[in-house]
Amino acid sequence: MVFDYSALPREFKRQFLPAGIRFEWGDLSKAYAELAARAIASTADLEKWLLDEAELDSYVYEQRSIRYINSTLQTDNKEYTEAYRRYVEELEPKIKVAKFGLLKKYSSTPFHSQLPRSVYGQEDRRRLSAVRIFREENVDLERQDSNLSQDYLRVLGAMTVNFRGEERTLQQMSKFYEEPDRPVREEAWRLADARALQDREALDRIYDQMVGLRDRVAKNAGFADFRDYTFAKKDRFDYTPSDCESFHRGVEEFIVPLSREIDRRRMEKMGVDELRPWDLRVDPDSRPPLSPFKDAAGLLGGAKKVVSQIDQELAGYFSRMVELDLLDLESRKGKAPGGYQEELTEVRLPFIFMNAAKRDDDVRTLLHEAGHSFHTFLMRKEGLPYFNANANIPTEFAEVASTSMEIISGEHYEGVFYDRENANRSNWEEAVDNVKLFAWVATVDAFQHWVYTHPDHTHEERAAAWVATFNRFAGLESYEGLELSRAHRWHRQLHFFEVPFYYIEYGIALTGALGIRARYREDRRGAVEAYKSALSLGAAKSLPELFEAGGLRWGFGPSALRGFADDLRRVIREYEAGP
Tens digits of residue pLDDT in 155-210: 988 899 999 999 998 888 988 998 999 999 999 999 999 999 999 999 999 999 99
Residue-level pLDDT at 1: 59
Return the number of other C-beta atoms located less than 10 Å from residue 115's C-beta: 16
- Its pTM stands at 0.90
Q: How many domains does the chain have?
A: 1
Cα separation, 428 vs 364, in Å, equals: 13
Residue 268 maps to a domain: no
**H-helix or E-strand containing 16?**
none
- CB-count burial class (<10 Å; 0-12, 13-18, 19+) for 518: middle
Cα separation, 346 vs 210, in Å, equals: 31
Residue 342 maps to a domain: no
Residue 211 maps to a domain: no
Range of the domain at 102: 5-134
442, 252 Cβ separation under 8 angstroms: yes
Residue 519 maps to a domain: no
- CB-count burial class (<10 Å; 0-12, 13-18, 19+) for 379: buried
Residue 348 maps to a domain: no
Residue 310's pLDDT band, with cuts at 50, 70 and 90, is very high
pLDDT(2) > 70: no
Residue 5's pLDDT band, with cuts at 50, 70 and 90, is confident
Residue 91 maps to a domain: yes
Nearest to 43 by CA among 107, 111, 99: 111
Nearest to 384 by CA among 202, 123, 42, 171: 123
pLDDT(579) > 60: no
Nearest to 497 by CA among 327, 371, 337: 337
pLDDT digits (tens, 9 = 90+) for 246-264: 999 999 999 999 999 999 9
Residue-level pLDDT at 578: 58
Mean pLDDT confidence for 498-503: 93
Residue 7's pLDDT band, with cuts at 50, 70 and 90, is confident
Residue-level pLDDT at 528: 98
Residue-level pLDDT at 506: 94
Residue-level pLDDT at 42: 97
Residue-level pLDDT at 278: 97
Return the number of other C-beta atoms located less than 10 Å from residue 370's C-beta: 27
Residue 407 maps to a domain: no
Residue 362 maps to a domain: no
